[in-house]
Every structure is written in structure tokens, then in C-alpha cells.
Chains A and B, each alone.
Chain A
Amino acid sequence: MQLTLNQIDKSFGAKKVLRGISLSAEGGKAFGLLGRNGAGKTTTIRILMNVFSADKGEVLFDGKPIDYTKIKFGYLPEERGLYAKRKIFEQLVFFAELNGLSHGDAVASVNRWLVRFGMTEYANKRLDTLSKGNQQKIQMITALAHNPQIIVLDEPFSGLDPVNAMLLKAVVKEEIAKGKILFLSSHQMSYIEEFCDSIAILNGGQVVLTGDIYDIKRNYPRNRLVIRSTERDAILAKYQNACKLCEDGSLLLTLASPDEKQNVMKELSESFDLDEVKVFEPTLNDIFVEYTENAI
């Protein structure tokens, strides 16, 4: 299974919201959709899910234009909300039926998911009697109950306590293991790094970076070293401008070229008492900030 967005353009009035968005996600893997507020993530998701159509470009499923009557999406919107005054079971069955299940299948599936999330006792309560975290679990069921091939989760972990977050993580991993395509949008980079193999960073309606996280990191210039040492001052004195002190107390040494790496490391270990020396690999957070702080 492969889902591809190809050169998607979208304007609202005079405002160009998306400019040539292209990305590709595969079954059995999670795809991270990153971007600052207003970068076009929600619009991309809505075009993906056919809430409205793109001005230009196409959405392909396994290389062919996607057939929305066959491919089902599960969606956890960032703005949560269901019917506050209706019974939980009733509305979960409603949404499952709306997404194509028969009444019997919907009831069975909702019951299964209520058990999985430990929410059975709330089935006949009104939604607004639940805590925020529990409401979120209910909302999660609306995204999963109809067994969609493609799941889009927007900030799924926000507002959950650690135990619930673990439960949800396990569920998300199960869904990925079933071979589904999972889109994960979050500002919490740790979750993206934990789940996603590939990412796309959106900025100003464009994809500014996309690919495999591991590759992205590997392809970063490997000309910086992180050094932990008891002789910080001596190292700083020796390398002067090339070396700077980081907030966490480590030193970051920038080399003229990655080729010098071996020599410098050797030199360091011979001259100073080192706790650790390694090639600097940017975190996703660093990459995100680097790609999105200026533009828009």
C-alpha cells in the first residue's frame, strides 16, 4: 500500500495555502507530518481525506487515483469534539456506520474497542461527563472502529497521562503492524522520532524537507563533534572560535571538513581527559527549527 500526494496546490481566495505539496507514505510505516502552525498541515490532511479538492495535483493510491468509496480513512482531528450530550456508545456506532460499517459490525467493533481502551463502563454515559483524557480515548475509537486502511492522527498524545499515552502508543504500534498507512502530525518531536520512519516538514505551504529520518540525519554534514570533558576550559582555549559551550555543559566543536573528524578525535583523546566524544547528530527538533524558523 502506498499513498502519494503529487504536486498539490490549493488556494483559499487570494491566499495560496499549499504550493506543490508532494509526499509519499507506505503501508506498515508511520509518516510524520510536521510544520509550524499555519504551515498547511490541516489543509493537506483535508485534501488527503477529500473534504475538499485540490486546485491542482493528484492523490494516488498504489499509483492510481484514489477511490474514496473504497479507501477508508480514520481521523483524529487536532480540534477534538463529538456530541457532548449524546451517549458514547450511540455516537461511536453512528460514526462507525457513517464510515461504512453495517449496524451489526459497528456495534461489535465499538464494543471491542471500548474493551481495548478500558472504557466499557462509560458506554452509556454522556460524553460530557468524562474527563478530557477519557474523551480523547473515545475520540480515538471514532478513528479506528471502522478499520480504515489509512489513519490520520493529529496530536494524538496531547492531554494524556503517561499510562494512557502508553496504552495509545501500543494501539498505534499495533495498527502500524497491521500494515496500515499512518500519518502522524505532532509538535512533540519525541513521538515523531519514536514512531515515524519518514517525515515531511511543511513550511509556508511547501514541503521543505521530506524523506527517511535516519537518512536525513545521516546526510547532515558530519563536521561537528560533541565533547564531554572535565577539561572544558582547556579545550575551549585550544580550539577558540571553532568551539562553543552548549547549554547542557557539553562542547560543540565545528571542523572545517568532515574528513578531519578522525584526526581531531584522536588528538582530543590523547590531549585531554574525555568522558565522551561523538559526531554531532541533529535531533529532529534541531532539524525542524532549522527548516522552519525563517521562511513562511
Chain B
Amino acid sequence: MMKQFRTILKFELKDFFTDKKFVGFTLILALIIAVVMFFPRFSGSISISDEPVQDMNQDLPIMLVHSANEEHGEIVKQSFQTVFFGYKVTLYSGEASDLEEKVISGEAACAFAVSGLDSYTYYVNDLSMYDSNTAHANDAMSIYAMVQSGMTYEEAARILSGAVHQEIVTLGKDQTNNFFYTYIMIMVLYMAILLYGQMVASNVASEKSSRAMELLVTSAKPVSMMFGKVIASCLAGLTQLTVIFGTAFVSFNLNRYYWDDGGIMASIFDMPLELLLYMLLFFVLGFFIYAFMYGAIGSTVSKLEDIGTSVMPITILFVAAFIVVMMALSSGEVNTPLVKACSFIPFTSPMAMFVRIVMSTVPWYEILASVVILIASVIGVGYFAAKIYRMGVLLYGNKPGFGNIIKMLRKK
């Protein structure tokens, strides 16, 4: 039995590693990541060349400002220029009603009509979702008011920039730091399980439709076949991820110096080892539980065309888990009752518990409980999957419905 398992594992792994598409895709992806990581090294040397800063001023978009109080025109312009260094701020001395037209015609990127110390109108063509100009304009208005009451622009700007000394003592997890790599890891977990899981399903189905199964079932035990296949694709997936992330890690560290603002980048690559191990654990367990189900479903299909509709329920289950986790992650509230519940349900816990561990402080016994439930479920699902597989591989013709599958499980 062990020998059979090893033979199948070897055969399946060879299939992955001699597959030109698999190897090519992995290498190309690794190459692209390496290129991205090396990019700042070369693009950095270009921007260092000392171009006159003034020249760049001319390329800046134009922002028109208009003051209702004409005497304050220059102060308003200066106040806005202090805040908007991304724009070339120009004082418009015509009628305020002309501003609209100037923006529409594209003469100016945007315009502000200041009607008093505490009110203005903002003209812009398309208001972007991320437009922060009004927030900046509020600052500019404060500067305007402060200058008006006798301060210099520098003093006003310093007050506004709020050079307050702050210190954050994080007692639990630092969400801001962990967010990006959690995001990336969840995406990776999601894609890897979905991709490789479906690969297991179609591999089983193609063995069946090519009738290689006729010979396989007489030569090997279904459990060996199932485990050989699932573990082979798990190893192939891990290898692929290791190559891709390894390349990213090495090439980032070679170029760390050039990623000057590298806050996000550095936070991704400075991930604590502990979390990486958790990721590995949840990846493997999550992968197994889904790959077993995919394998079992694959065995009930006689034609490759049917595989899409047959695996749909599992895929939907998995996508739902993904959405719940993603929504929790982006709202930052990872300890809602829903996510907590999900972190113990075996089909959602690989992602949900992982997010909770990374983004909040989870008591050790909850982690242990979740992992134990997951491991027990992997064993259970593996056992039932092998049973379905055993019956499924010999069934041709109509694919069995859900009821028939349950019947198969109940039979010895």
C-alpha cells in the first residue's frame, strides 16, 4: 500500500514537473516578479539625474483660485499654493462664474472660488473617488484665516502640519502592518486551492474518460490513488509558490536599498516566521480538504465536459468562504460572530482562522480547537472521498446526483 502510494506520488509529480506548461508558467511568473523587484534599481538611477525642479513646475496641472474679496486674492493664492504643491495655483481675477467654463474647457484642471473666510466652491470635471482636494482646501482655508489674523505662512503651515509627537503602543496585532501580506496570503490561498483542487478533479475525470482507470483500479487501492494524487498536487503547488515567492523575496532583498519608500513592500517581506508557518499549516489542511472533495467529485464524472457543473457546489462553498473573509479583512473587524463561527467550520476555517490570527489576538486554545477540527475533518473527508472515489470510478454514463452519492457512502 505504501509502495503503491509512493509509486503513484512519483508518477503524478513527474507529470507536473515534466509538464512544459506548468514549468513555463512558474518560471515566467517568477521572472516577471524578479523584473518588478529589480525595477527601482534601474528606474531610480534615472530620476536621480538632476533635472531642474522649476521645469517640472510647468508640467503641473493648473488650479485656478478666485477670491470674492479681491484684496485677499494674493493671500488666498499663497495659502492654496502652500497646500497644493502638486498644482500650479493661479489667481483668477475675472468673474467667479467664469471658473466653471474654464474647468470644462480644460484650461484648468480644477478651480476654487473662495467666497469668504469659511466658504468656497470647488469646480472639477469628474470627481474621482479618491479626490482629496477638498480636504487639502480646508487646510488652505485655515492657513488663509491664520495669515489673515497676522501669522506668517510658515507658522500657519507648521500648526496645520500638526507636528505632534505621537507614539503607538500596539498591545495586540498591528493591522496596518499586517494588512497587505494578509491580503496577499489570502489571495494566494484562494487561488492555489481553487486552481489545484480543480486540477485534481479534472485529472481524475480524465483518467476515467481515457479508461486508464480500468487498469488503475485493478492495480492499486483507491486510497493510494486518491492520496497519491492529492499530495502530489499539494507538493506541486507548494513548490510553485516557493519558487515564485522565493524569487520575490530574494530579488526584493537584493534591491531593498532602492525601494526607498518600501513601507508596504518591506512589510510584506518582513512577515514573521510564525505567520508563515501558520499560512503553511492552513494552506496544507485547506488544500487537502478541498482537493479530496474535488477528487471525489471528479471520480463521479464520466465526461470531462461535465466537470464544470459537477464541481460547482464546492467552488461556490469556497468562494463564499473567501468573500466572508475578504469582507472581514477589508473592514478590519475580524472578530465578528460570523468570522468567529467560520474560523471553526472546517471548510472556511483555513482562511477565517488565518485572518483572525494575523489581524487580531486569538487565544491559543481557539487556534488549537480550530486546527484539531480541521485535521479531523480532513481525515473524515479523505475517508469518505476515497469511498466515493472507489464507487465513482467504475460508474459510467449518467453522473450520479447528490442522493446517489449519499447512498454510495452508506454502502459498505
Interface flags, B209-232, vs A, CB<8A=1, else 0: 011111111111000000000000
Knowing A86-B15, A90-B14, A94-B11 touch, does A99 contact B219 (C-beta < 8 A)?
A: yes
**Which of A79, A80, A98, A139 is close to B220, meaning CB atoms less than 8 Å apart?**
A98
Q: B405: CB under 8 A from chain A? A: no
Pairwise interchain contact B7-A98, C-beta atoms closer than 8 A? yes
Pairwise interchain contact A80-B11, C-beta atoms closer than 8 A? no
Not counting A51-B394, A75-B218, a sample of 9 additional A-B residue pairs whose C-beta atoms are within 8 angstroms of each other reads A49-B218, A52-B394, A75-B215, A77-B211, A77-B218, A82-B215, A83-B207, A91-B11, A142-B215
Residues from chain A with a CB closer than 8 A to the CB of B4 are 98
Pairwise interchain contact A95-B218, C-beta atoms closer than 8 A? no
Residues from chain B with a CB closer than 8 A to the CB of A159 are none
Pairwise interchain contact B7-A77, C-beta atoms closer than 8 A? no
**Which of A73, A83, A97, A99 is close to B212, meaning CB atoms less than 8 Å apart?**
A83
Once bound together, how far apart are the Cα atoms of A185 and B141, in whole Å? 95
Top 4 nearest A-B pairs by Cβ distance?
A: A81-B211, A77-B214, A79-B211, A97-B7
Once bound together, how far apart are the Cα atoms of A75 and B212, in whole Å? 12
Q: A84: CB under 8 A from chain B? A: yes
- Interface majority SS (helix, strand, loop, mixed), chain B: helix
Once bound together, how far apart are the Cα atoms of A51 and B217, in whole Å? 6
Pairwise interchain contact A77-B215, C-beta atoms closer than 8 A? yes
Instruction: Closest B residue to A154 by CB, please name it.
Output: B214
Residues from chain B with a CB closer than 8 A to the CB of A91 are 11
| CB pairs A–B below 8 angstroms (15 shown) | A13-B407, A51-B217, A75-B214, A77-B211, A77-B215, A81-B211, A82-B215, A83-B210, A83-B212, A84-B210, A98-B8, A98-B216, A98-B219, A98-B220, A142-B215
Once bound together, how far apart are the Cα atoms of A281 and B244, in whole Å? 75
Residues from chain A with a CB closer than 8 A to the CB of B15 are 86
* Interface set, chain A 147-168, CB cutoff 8 A to B: none
Once bound together, how far apart are the Cα atoms of A180 and B4, in whole Å? 24
Once bound together, how far apart are the Cα atoms of A81 and B302, in whole Å? 14
Once bound together, how far apart are the Cα atoms of A83 and B15, in whole Å? 11
* Interface set, chain A 80-113, CB cutoff 8 A to B: 80-84, 86, 90-91, 94-95, 97-100
Interface flags, B1-13, vs A, CB<8A=1, else 0: 0011001100100
Instruction: For residue A112, give the distance in angstroms from its CB to the closest CB of chain B.
Output: 19
Residues from chain A with a CB closer than 8 A to the CB of B220 are 98
Residues from chain B with a CB closer than 8 A to the CB of A49 are 218
Pairwise interchain contact B211-A80, C-beta atoms closer than 8 A? yes
**Which of A51, A80, A97 is close to B218, meaning CB atoms less than 8 Å apart?**
A51
Interface flags, B197-214, vs A, CB<8A=1, else 0: 000000000010011111
Residues from chain A with a CB closer than 8 A to the CB of B390 are 52
Residues from chain A with a CB closer than 8 A to the CB of B214 are 75, 77, 79, 81
Once bound together, how far apart are the Cα atoms of A258 and B53, in whole Å? 122
Once bound together, how far apart are the Cα atoms of A77 and B213, in whole Å? 10
Residues from chain A with a CB closer than 8 A to the CB of B7 are 94, 97-98
Residues from chain B with a CB closer than 8 A to the CB of A97 are 3, 7
Residues from chain A with a CB closer than 8 A to the CB of B211 are 77, 79-81
Once bound together, how far apart are the Cα atoms of A149 and B303, in whole Å? 34
Residues from chain B with a CB closer than 8 A to the CB of A94 are 7, 11
Instruction: Closest A residue to B220 by CB, please name it.
Output: A98
Residues from chain A with a CB closer than 8 A to the CB of B217 are 51
Once bound together, how far apart are the Cα atoms of A84 and B207, in whole Å? 9
